[in-house]
Structure 1
């Protein structure tokens, strides 16, 4: 005798696997799998599953199946999601094609980090409330280091311009030229000013403690920071203004034309009626040195 599934109403044969619910209703294998998956007791233990079905009402079983059907996205939704995934992939590919700043490959010095692969520089500004800016190397116009002591009221540094070469041969030479060989008893300022293409000037204070002895650890640390930042800015400026190497053009020499090739060319002109037989014979004798 055939019976029908209490949920999907499909007929079930006598030998077909089925599960009996608490209210004696019978459900087919497909519906049983949906119910078990929805309620979280889908396992390979047939005895355990049978016991759980025997304690389940038809109402709860139908609710479980309906939840599974509702949660499954429609074909249109799945297609829309696929289109969106394709758009996301295209966007990621476009972003990947643009050079970006990568922290792991950047060289850093006192709030300034440079990625020489993408030619991007990140400036960290401020002491307590810090902010960051990401710029292209081309936006760094110049920089000026500054060192001041109590013997000098104000001593401006020597500017390293982006359009020129090194003024004194290297970062150490620039810092040495700033101090000018003066032996300050106390140092009051060690800083470096970075000038941008939009006219903004950003100053980095490398001596946060302020006035200190020139022989102190703080003064030596500040001078080290000044040299490090000057060297890094030199590299940024040099990298920005180094032209892209152009591959040399290879000049291909033409192979010499043999007399036989020339005769064939004039024979073709003769056959086409462009030159006369006399002109062809004369050219042939000339090529053969007759």
Structure 2
């Protein structure tokens, strides 16, 4: 009867001790429990602290090193058992359980849901790999074409596109089409005379004075600066989105090697943009001319149809209709 009561008592408390058969299972989440040894040595250490802190520290180190087993339990506390301290250390490190959380039942360890976390990590890694593959696929043509690299932007006259590359802090990238550029403003500021260009090269319906490169040449040559402080361009697109590309934002003596290298990049970018504006303007003029011609053809057809009805109704003669038709068709 006594044996049955003991079994019942153990079952109710859900505590089972076994020092030989139980080992840590990587598929179970455990936490560490305080042992009687720890409670006793801890109390002694506190008392020693009140007497001599140095001796208390020495005592705690010795008793800690003498402890060879630790008491552990699953989070559901179905059982508890002891394992070698080294075995627990390996388990704790492999499951990323911090030392200060090893006694917490609801410790924030990676193993709280190990299978789910592994799947999440694998899914995240796969997603990152897919994003990286998409990025490489997008940027490769610009690099292979030898596009002009300025800041985070690649200007590719062959593809007629601008690629905004990623940075260390910004992992987004984007492709802009040359055909969507409506204007650009070169920025050139000197050390002694701060001057931002007021001339903006823009796509317009009429003719633009000078050929491709004329605007850039007029605005970037022969400035009376001793030092150059800023070089860059502001590019505006059809959707009112802007790219503000600053190539140089520091003080360099004009004519120096550094300043000349930035000027070279500045001229290359402005040259591409100037040619693009000219091309876009020609394209716009051609589209406008086509619309005008189409409108005129519709108007001429309507006029001919109107005189045809007058002829059919006997208001004008066949000869008068033919004469008017030739006049409208410029024959």
What TM-score bracket applies, with the shorter chain setting the length? Answer: 0.3 to 0.5
Scaled by the length of structure 1, the TM-score of the pair is: 0.41
Q: Higher helix share goes to which structure?
A: 2
